[in-house]
Amino acid sequence: RLKALNRLQVILQHLKMSKQTDSTAEVLLEKKGGAGIITLNRPKALNALNLSMIQQIYPQIKAWEKDPETFLIIIKGAGGKAFCAGGDIRAITEAGKVGDKLSQDFFRGEYRLNNAVGTCKKPYVALIDGITMGGGVGVSIHGHFRVATEKTLFAMPETAIGLFPDVGGGYFLPRLSGKIGYYLALTGCRLKGRDVLKAGVATHFVESEKLPALEKDLIALKSPSKEKIADLLNSYHMKCTVDQEKEFVLDEHMEKINSLFSANSMEEIVKKLKQDGSAFAMKQLETINKMSPTSLKLTLRQLREGASMSLQDVLRMEYRLSQACMKGHDFYEGVRAVLIDKDQSPKWKPAALEEVSDEFVDNCFKPLGDDDLKL
């Protein structure tokens, strides 16, 4: 009887899978060989994650993790332009404005998914070809392998829209070498191609056109170990000569980044940038002056605290911050200025770093009691 029941479950699972592979679905979940394959399938929206995608991917990762016939998980984006450009910010904004539950459910679901990726027992390979920002970083960075290409464009641009680099940014950013993570988080600086590897965001670098072959080879591996998968990725990586000779774009600025962004407060960072006076420092100052002062202060503290926390504790902290941002002013104003009216001139409140009190920042980090994120 048990055997029959198991068989039925397998058949139902396959039916569910084949339903998922219809090309209009926002996310495709397929099993090929020993690999579970997740395809983010909203190319027109640059594969931005919405709640229904998150709610499909999470249980599937959990199911594949338990399945003895699944040896690895591959995640990729459809359409050739983006892996995933972020979370569906517009939907969250609309919901937040009217106090809809989506602004809680989305972040809760997204962070649980980030944690599922970070704790996944099966090797997890993210093919981060094209635009990879915000929420797209969250479903790739915490996995074992991240394969960048010459088309990869990485950024955590949240301070420009009154948010903070979430999806576990407080965990991975301060762990990048030197103060690169602080610099990327506060300025929203974009990294392209091989620089994504050199910054430590990607683990491997392969030509975009070689990805289908790589995927085929991954699928063909017979009950592979993490080591076998690493060997295959390394062999592709070693053969890739694109931009091999190019110096890391931040190399010449690393000394400055490490000293300027090691300050204990945003005001001090700004002061150091002004005192430095170099062209690089002035450019960073100009960028930082456009960002939400509230976001900058939340972000600096998020990274400083996250540097010594577990991923789970970081995600709990970030959930508290997300809910504080949903109650505030700057997130809605940032989304309006950048994504809706596109006038690129947000009116931040408060408008200056000095006006964002320590007390206000402290409150954003306070536990939410029963409403805290449960992982």
Q: Is the peptide bond before 165 cis (omega within 30 degrees of 0)?
A: no
Helix 89-97 × helix 102-118 angle, to 10° = 140
Reply yes or no on whether 168 is catalytic. no
Check 36, 87, 181, 193 and give the catalytic one: 87
Reply yes or no on whether 158 is catalytic. yes
User: Cα–chain-centroid distance for residue 171?
Assistant: 11
Reply yes or no on whether 166 is catalytic. yes
Check 88, 129, 158, 215 and give the catalytic one: 158
User: Cα–chain-centroid distance for residue 256?
Assistant: 26
Check 109, 130, 135, 138 and give the catalytic one: 135
d(CA 260, CA 256): 6
Which residue intervals of 152-244 are DSSP H helices? 169-172, 180-187, 194-198, 211-220, 226-239
Q: Give burial (CB, 10 Å; 0-12/13-18/19+) of 92.
A: buried
3-state DSSP assignment of residue 124: strand
User: Kind and range of the H or E element at 82?
Assistant: strand 82-84
172 near 181, Cβ under 8 Å?
yes
Instruction: Kindly tell me the sign of the dihedral angle through the C-alpha atoms of 179, 185, 188, 193.
Output: positive
Q: Give burial (CB, 10 Å; 0-12/13-18/19+) of 362.
A: exposed
Reply yes or no on whether 100 is catalytic. no
d(CA 124, CA 126): 7
Strand order in the sheet with 82-84: 82-84, 131-133, 153-155, 191-192
76 near 127, Cβ under 8 Å?
yes
Check 26, 110, 129, 166 and give the catalytic one: 166
Catalytic (active-site) positions? 87, 135, 158, 166
